[in-house]
Amino acid sequence: MTNAKNNQEFISKMEHDIELSALPEAVKRKLIANLLLLKAKKVNLLITGATGCGKSSTINALFDADVSKVGVGVDPETMDIEKYELGNLILWDSPGLGDGKEADNRHAKNLTKKLLERDSEGNPLIDLVLVILDGSSRDMGTSFELISNVIVPNLGEDKSRILVAINQADMAMKGRGWNREDNRPEPELERFLNEKVESVRRRIKESTGVDVEPIYYSAGYKDGDKPQRPYNLTKLLYQIVHYTPKQKRTIYVNNINRDREMWKDDDDLKDYRNSILDDIVESISDCADVGADIGESLGGLFGSAGRAVGRVAGRVVGSAFGAIKSIAKSFFGGIFGW
């Protein structure tokens, strides 16, 4: 089953369920109008980091994109950046620094160009940059260089478009402290990883002034005789969803990996799942927005009495939030095996 085929599936199902729900007609119409707007959106996610840090593995784990097979660029200027289109989700996969002086200059130039690119509405094309660090490497210097010299200076005013994630958590102490059976770190490795997260956070703050909340995870691997499931992949997805502009969050739902094995192991699964759900539901219902609209139109018709009705409609929208959440939850349940 390819994800491109499932693009729009989530939104179509939501439309169908909202239509059949007991929600007031005006709320239904507004929600369906919101869904139509969401359908037209595209999200552009730029993934970068040193060669070998695990960009391809991460994309494959999150989105089941089979990145070895799709969309390889041919333009020699931008050959190093690969583009994958999964319906409305567009992934840009670019090497970071560490490939030698000449290649690094090229990568920096391509990254800068991509970050400065604007969409047809004049907004930055790239919605979010995911910088992956190799947690098994002792030398993070080139990654900090990438962040402070190439990524952050080209983000514009809003510095919230950057996420930093430390991959290969299982190999951070050369494999020591990783409980292979349960696919999670033992306390000693956990401490080590938490310190690493803290030092990465501090170094980025010191060199750029930007606050990031790095996480550690493992993209896992399929090759070899003992494949390993990802760890903290739901946490990574939560961050990606959360830092994506609100109106675009539903786009991920259509494209996440349908293989339940990918989403099993996290440090606090329940919490991330709920947060993802809340973020996505918020993007569809946008309660305040719906309430205000309805209140306004009723107010225009009936004056102050209409505004009072509008306030009631606002509360009805609160119940719409609940209805949408349960619809979304059942959809997700099928994917994540909740």
CA dist 320 and 117 (Å) reads 37
Q: Shortest Cβ distance from residue 47 to ligand GDP (Å)?
A: 8
CA dist 316 and 310 (Å) reads 9
Interface characters, 176-215, with ligand GDP (x: CB under 6 A): ----------------------------------------
Q: Shortest Cβ distance from residue 55 to ligand GDP (Å)?
A: 3
Structure tokens at 295: 């209140």
Q: Does 70 bind ligand GDP (CB under 6 A)?
A: no
**3-state SS assignment for residue 166:** strand
Helix axes 55-63, 233-242, angle to 10 degrees: 80
Q: What length does the chain have?
A: 338
**3-state SS assignment for residue 127:** coil
**Looking at 8, 12, 21, 56, which residue binds Mg ion (CB under 5 A)?**
56
Q: Shortest Cβ distance from residue 59 to Mg ion (Å)?
A: 8
Classify residue 190 as exposed, middle or buried by CB count within 10 Å of its CB (0-12, 13-18, 19+): middle
Contacts of 187 (CB under 8 A, 6+ apart): none
Q: Shortest Cβ distance from residue 52 to Mg ion (Å)?
A: 8
Q: Nearer Cβ to ligand GDP, position 54 or 299?
A: 54
* Residue 183 interacting entry, from Mg ion, ligand GDP, none, C-beta within 5 to 8 Å by type: none
Interface characters, 30-59, with ligand GDP (x: CB under 6 A): -------------------x-xxxxxxx--
User: β-strand 162-167 against 178-179: which pairing, if any?
Assistant: unpaired
Q: Does 168 bind ligand GDP (CB under 6 A)?
A: yes
- What is the enclosing helix (H) or strand (E) of 278? helix 269-285
Q: Nearer Cβ to ligand GDP, position 82 or 293?
A: 82
Total number of residues that touch ligand GDP (CB under 6 A): 17
Q: Which residues bind Mg ion (CB under 5 A)?
A: 55-56
